[in-house]
Structure 1
Amino acid sequence: MKLLKRLGLGILALLLLLAIFSLFISSRLRVERSIEVAAPADAAFEQVNTLRNWERWSPWHGIDPHMLLTYSGPDGGAGASYNWFSKHPDVGDGQFKITKTEPYKFIVAEMNFGPNGTANTTYSFDKTAKGTRITWAMESELGMNPVSKYMGIFLIDDVVGADFERGLNNIKQIVESQPAGQQDAHAGHGH
């Protein structure tokens, strides 16, 4: 019986220490990944800015190609948005809305995951000697819940980061396979 009591007190002490330590962990989560593509910034920009292009490169569309998508607003640029509905647990339901763009430089958007919270995401396109560096970043507020903070540190960055890497690699394959100077069918919309 003493052993069980000591074990219980030890677990309680460990949980208390973890809760206290979590106070020193930032409640803001940032996930960021980059890739360099051998293509001009306009080609890379249009893959993200024109929302219907996402069906070709988004890592989540690859997970559930049968998800339901509804688009609203312009084809691209500020005000363009889409809702997604998926029964797949790794995709779920949500909304993506572009809030600000500077053509061929950056895109800022809001993502709403319903009960799983919201996030702000940015895509930047920087000219390099070999083409364009695309950076995909997401920031989200985790709150003060210790479990959320630990999941953010140990799980979310790896899982979401891997999704970002797949998406960026997909964009790379698409833009590098296009003949030089080819414009996407939706290019120029929503600027």
Structure 2
Amino acid sequence: MKKIGLVLLAVIAIILVIAATKPNEFSVSRTATIKAPAAKVYPLVADFRNWPAWSPWERLDPNMKRTLTGAPMGTGAVYAWDGNKDVGAGRMEILSATEPSAVDIKLDFIRPFESASTTRFDFAPAANPADGTQVTWTMKGPMPFVSKLMSVFVSMDSMIGKDFEKGLSQLKAAAEK
């Protein structure tokens, strides 16, 4: 029993040391090419009223309560939500919007856990201009120790990346209609 206890303590200590060496911030980013001009893709992101057409979280709770306040779109637009366990509750505010090249959003989660991060959408001509627009979706935020500990077992990239890929795919479908 004593050996098992010592081994268990050693494993816990190793996990804590690994967690302590994790970065203080996380960053998740995904890119997609959309066969539409940036002027058509940009409003799908800069106007929160358009998010139900493409956001990967919108369909997870058909009864989700949405509140839109502030500016109708672009800088100052605010989107708050309160939903089931799959979507939680939170608030987004567009901090800056440069049409048609970028949108910066402050993202605050309230439930299931409190956190704050920033999200940025960049819209640039695709490598081949005939292919339309390259959209890059990036989220950055602090990594408190609890998040660092979780990241020993599952990374933020693997948790959020799939949703970004799905969202970009749905954004592509909405813009290419």
What TM-score comes out, normalization by structure 2 length? 0.92
1:138 aligns with 139
- Counterpart residue identity of residue 132, structure 2: G
1:151 aligns with 150
Q: Structure 1: any 5+ residue segments left out of the alignment? A: 178-191
Secondary structure of 2:176's match?
Answer: helix
Higher share of residues assigned strand:
2
Residue 65 of structure 1, CA deviation: 2.2
Distance in structure 1 (CA, Å) of the matches to 2:151 and 2:140: 11
Distance in structure 2 (CA, Å) of the matches to 1:5 and 1:105: 62
Q: Structure 2: any 5+ residue segments left out of the alignment? A: none
2:160 aligns with 160
- Counterpart residue identity of residue 137, structure 1: T
Residue 98 of structure 1, CA deviation: 0.2
2:66 aligns with 69
Secondary structure of 2:76's match?
Answer: coil
Secondary structure of 1:53's match?
Answer: helix
Secondary structure of 1:78's match?
Answer: coil
2:119 aligns with 121
Residues 1:95 and 2:91 aligned together: yes
Residue 155 of structure 1, CA deviation: 4.1
Residue 9 of structure 1, CA deviation: 0.5
Distance in structure 2 (CA, Å) of the matches to 1:156 and 1:53: 26
What TM-score comes out, normalization by structure 1 length? 0.85
Moved over 4 A (4+): none
- Counterpart residue identity of residue 174, structure 2: I
Residue 21 of structure 1, CA deviation: 2.1
2:80 aligns with 83
Distance in structure 2 (CA, Å) of the matches to 1:75 and 1:121: 19
Q: Show the 5 A alignment for 1:53-68.
A: 53-68=50-65
- Counterpart residue identity of residue 103, structure 1: E
Identity of aligned residues (%): 31
Distance in structure 2 (CA, Å) of the matches to 1:133 and 1:7: 54
Between Structure 1 and Structure 2, whose CA radius of gyration is higher?
Answer: 1
Distance in structure 1 (CA, Å) of the matches to 2:32 and 2:175: 12
Which of 10, 15, 38 lines up with 2:7 in the alignment? 10
- Whether the aligned pair in 2 keeps the contact of 1:83 and 1:94 (CA below 8 Å) is yes
1:184 aligns with none
- Counterpart residue identity of residue 15, structure 1: I
Distance in structure 2 (CA, Å) of the matches to 1:136 and 1:150: 25
- Whether the aligned pair in 2 keeps the contact of 1:142 and 1:152 (CA below 8 Å) is no
Cα deviations by residue, 1:136-178 (Å, 9 ceiling, x for unpaired): 1101111133xx214346243212111111111111001111x
1:44 aligns with 41
Residue 64 of structure 1, CA deviation: 1.1
Residue 84 of structure 1, CA deviation: 0.2
Count of aligned pairs between the two proteins:
171
- Counterpart residue identity of residue 167, structure 1: G
Residue 68 of structure 1, CA deviation: 0.4
Secondary structure of 2:97's match?
Answer: strand
